[in-house]
Structure 1
Amino acid sequence: MDAPALAIDAVSHAFGQRLALDTVSLTVPPGRFVALLGPNGAGKTTLFALATRLYTTRTGRVRIFGHDLARAPSLALAELGVVFQSRTLDLDLSVRQNLAYHGALHGLSGRALKARIAELMEMVGLADRLDEKVRTLSGGQARRVEIARALVHRPRLLLLDEATVGLDLAARAAIVDLVRRLVAQEGLAVLWATHIFDEVRPQDDIHVLDKGRIIAHGTAGAVAGAHLVPAAELAPDAGTAGLEAAFRAMTAAGAEDTA
């Protein structure tokens, strides 16, 4: 059996006396879109910081395609691309320069890097903006560049932390569609952290994080159904109001893991 793209096992993290994550475990299979769903302050960003080694994991274990992040960080991180919630592009550099710099950090250069950048910018629909400064782009366009940058070194796992925050409805939909297309066409594994319920589809695997704990996991439709919301309300073309209602019910009742 193939190793999970991401396996987080019993990870906890505290800031002083405040426990931000409490024995969190989740798995992202290869080539799947998995949503980490929770309100602001639930611990999603802290979990991403641990999964990307920005914070050191003291309790629990993180593995990326079987590579232990603590014991073999170079091998693990080589498989990982990340789009953080905060914007991280250099506004005064061109799109090409931002991507080339990131590629150089991963040991890429010359024709191979140039070809990879061109390929990615075609993929995200911005091939004609390569030599423009990032500050001239819209928020949605800049986000697409960040996704392209995260993929320069050909990772097999992509983590996105609240990737659509601050975008208008059309830009948000375009980013979600782009990432889902990468999963379907490129076989990329994705962990998509969000508090926006209509970015989740009924068939998606989800992990619901609240107050630092995973309180439910399964498919979105199954989780909603388990909390008295008919799965029929989660029609693919009708948004996910049912999932949002289920989430409110879970957090109000202090629900435990449903799986």
Structure 2
Amino acid sequence: MQGRFQDRTAIVTGGASGIGLDVATRLAAEGAQVSLWDLNEAALAKAKAESAAVDTQVLDIADAAQVARAMEASLTAFGGRLDVLVAGAGITGPNSMLRDYPVNAWQRVIDVNLNGLFYCNQAAVAPMERNGYGRIVNVASVAGKEGNPNASAYSASKAGVIGLTKALGKELATTGICVNCVTPAAVRTPIFDQMTQQHIDFMLSKIPMGRFGALEEVSSLICWLASAECSFSTGAVFDVSGGRATY
């Protein structure tokens, strides 16, 4: 039996580890040709083997010119077609009260998590429109819905991702391209290395199920949203937070 992504092509940003790598591995296992985008060159080499990716691009998504070059290279590897973009690259920034938040750290979080995601979404639209089909899945966070204290930049950037997803989904609603986002609660991935233990404990305390999410719980939802099975949902926000989110 053919997989859901047989003969499909997919780009996964932040694909060298965590949720991105798990998604990429699942997409490839179900037949997709996958390109991994990440800033960590060493991790990409390992991830390429694990996920059976056909292409990797080392780039900083906060740089629009690098995104444009990476898209051109991935499209060449794919023979010109792009079916799926999973935009999962992101950083947490420091855990600090807003009054003390370093301005340069604020700018970097916004540049990667929001501006970089915008560049990737924008670059994906034209090749998807040419084929009259596409699935864009943006990885936001429950912090974008509720706001986490001592994580103002992260919370603001992920709220922006939610707003961008809603706007783009409406813009493309008649094109055959569906645009959705997921809002996970905390999942134990390498991104935890960027947080204080106090902040990790706070996030766990807010989850009614009393545990962190598992990679497969998030990636399975992302893969459904990236598939042709998701055909009447666009501009939507899908919760995967163990009961934390209230809307």
Greater helix content: 2
Greater strand content: 1
TM over 0.5, shorter chain: no
Q: Normalized against structure 1, the TM-score is what? A: 0.33
